[in-house]
Each structure stands twice: as C-alpha cells, then as structure tokens.
Amino acid sequence: MKSPLLTLPGAVPAEGVDEGVAAHYGELFREQRALADGAGFVDLSHRGVVAVTGPDRLSWLHLLLTQHVSELPVGEATEALILSAHGHIEHALYLVDDGTTVWAHVEPGTQDALIAYLESMKFFYQVEVADRTADFAVVHLPAGSIAEVPEGVVVRETAYGRDLFLPREDLESYAAKTGPAAGLLAYEALRVEHHRPRLGFETDHRTIPHELGWIGTAVHLQKGCYRGQETVARVQNLGKPPRRLVFLHLDGSEVHLPVAGTEIRLAEEGADGRKIGFITTSVRHHELGPVALALVKRNVPTDAALVAGETAAAQEVVVEP
C-alpha cells in the first residue's frame, strides 16, 4: 500500500519489505535528531493492522500469545509473539486494547498469514478477527512528543513513543499539522540504538525469543498453554540459546555499511576464519556513527574483536551469553 506522504518534498521511497513509505526526506541525520528530540513523526502506514473484537478477545488471545493478556488494562501497550510448535518466532504483534477491540500492528505483509492462523484457532470463542490495514495507518510519534492526538484515535504509548492507529483518510491532513516528517531510516537508527529486535530482520526460520532479549518484554514466563511454550521453558530453565544478539560499533572509515547477512568472524582469525554470526541490521546513527545489530554464537567471547565482511566491529552485549 503506497503512502500518500511519498509526495512530500524530498521523499525517497524505501525498498524491500518497507516499500510503500519514505526511507527519508532528504536529510537523514536531521530527521534522526528531530526524532531523538521528540519532534516530528514517522509514517508507518505500510504496516499491517489487525483488530480482534468480541467478549472473549483477551482470554482467547491469552491462549495463543507469549504475553500475559487475559487482564490487559485498557490503554496499556504490550507486545507479544506467536511461536511455532518448536518455539521458533513466527509473528510479532504490537498490541493495545481500547475496551472493545484489541488493536495490533504487525510487520508489512504478515497480516494475512497471522489472520489465517487466528481464524483457525477461533473454535467456540466469541471473537472476530479483521484486517484493518486498508482503513487505518500507523503513525509513530517519538518519545517526548507534544503533538496532538486526534480525539478517538487509538494510541499505543511506550517508552519509545506513541503509535497511533490513525484513520487512513486522515493521514495527509495529520502529517501537515504534525511535521516535520522523518523517514524510516531515522526510525530504524533509533531502533538499533535501543537494541530492539524486528521480525524478519533479527529473526530467521530458527530464531527463539531468548536469542533476541524478547523474554520479559514479549514473552511472559509465568503464563502457560501456548504453542512453543515447552521450548521457552526448557531453554529458560535448563539451557542457553545457541545464539545471542549483539550491538556492534562499526569502523567509521568504511564507505559502505555491511548489509544484512554479512558474515561475522573473529578479527584474530582473519578473512579465512570460521563464521561466528551475521549482521541483521546496519544503520548510520547521527551520534554513534555506523552501528549494527547482529546474531553471533553464544560462546563468542564478549570482549572479542570482530570483523563483519571487511569491516572491523566492536561488540556490546545485548543478550548475556
């Protein structure tokens, strides 16, 4: 779904899964600084929007999600995962309940598969699941923003800012009042700075929640009865995940950033050394310079110097080994 805000001056379209919104509006670092200062907004209207209604919505979702939502207070934001039977991450949902409806935004293009799974699990529960992507656009206001939220708009408020489920027909008029617009690259740079994983970026077909630090924020360890729970409990109580998320400071003298999938090796072993991980997201940050998130093997020493492709990298621990 192509955003009308791509007509704003300087807008450069994003590519890949984020196609449909602006990567930036011509001034990447200015846009980052504005968000960091609590100004402007980010157009996330390409994200999927799913609504769950009915009197059983919370108790039903509680059985399916990794998060404890059976008594989720009205207006309280949370996030949750759906796992495979083997505990691998399949979906990530960013949720809020407004008293009659649970609203969730999800990664672009994943809503169809998510809804198909939810529909298959309805059984006798009084719930209705709907794809509202065509009707509502997600707009992000950064932490500290004093921008007005229109009356009646559902809001997810978190430590990182507010996500608005804005009627899509109001997107252009709201943008005109709330600017300046910041592109997705600015939003992603702050996401990486805060070590926040993203489905399809930090995850692959075998990722489990422990590897990314999603235990606690998206996985509640004191609830039971959801698909994949056995794996979560076993790793939590008896073992360690095979990989761990790290934050990398990259050599700033390199012209090009190592792209997602770039292999990581121990610097002391050189270019012919064994692969010990890979880049998941790399960005240019307005203060930190080139940085990245990566997955490495759990037993990689936390003080080891690394190399991503040909780029030197120093690691910060995100998930303890």
pTM: 0.96
Within this chain, do residues 23 and 158 fall inside the same structural domain, yes or no?
yes
CA distance readout (Å), 36 to 29, 127, 156, 247: 10, 39, 18, 19
**Burial, 143: exposed, middle or buried (Cβ in 10 Å; 0-12, 13-18, 19+)?**
middle
In a domain? residue 221:
no
What is the residue range of 310's domain? 242-320
pLDDT for 226-252, tens place per residue? 999 999 999 999 989 999 999 999 998
pLDDT for 2-54, tens place per residue? 999 999 999 999 999 999 999 999 999 999 999 999 999 999 999 999 999 99
Within this chain, do residues 156 and 293 fall inside the same structural domain, yes or no?
no
The encoded tokens of residue 140 equal: 């992000």
Give the number of other Cβ atoms within 10 Å of residue 41's Cβ.
27
Closest to 117 measured CA to CA, from 72, 83, 79: 83
pLDDT for 172-224, tens place per residue? 999 999 989 999 999 999 999 999 999 999 999 999 999 999 999 999 999 88
Within this chain, do residues 92 and 164 fall inside the same structural domain, yes or no?
no
What's at 79, amino acid-wise?
E
Q: What total number of domains does the chain contain? A: 3
Residue 92 is part of a domain; what is its CATH number? 3.30.70.1400
Within this chain, do residues 40 and 174 fall inside the same structural domain, yes or no?
yes
Residue 247 is part of a domain; what is its CATH number? 2.40.30.110
Beta strands in the chain (DSSP E): 12-13, 22-24, 41-43, 48-53, 78-83, 89-97, 101-106, 128-131, 136-142, 154-158, 161-167, 181-182, 243-250, 263-266, 277-285, 289-297, 306-308, 311-317
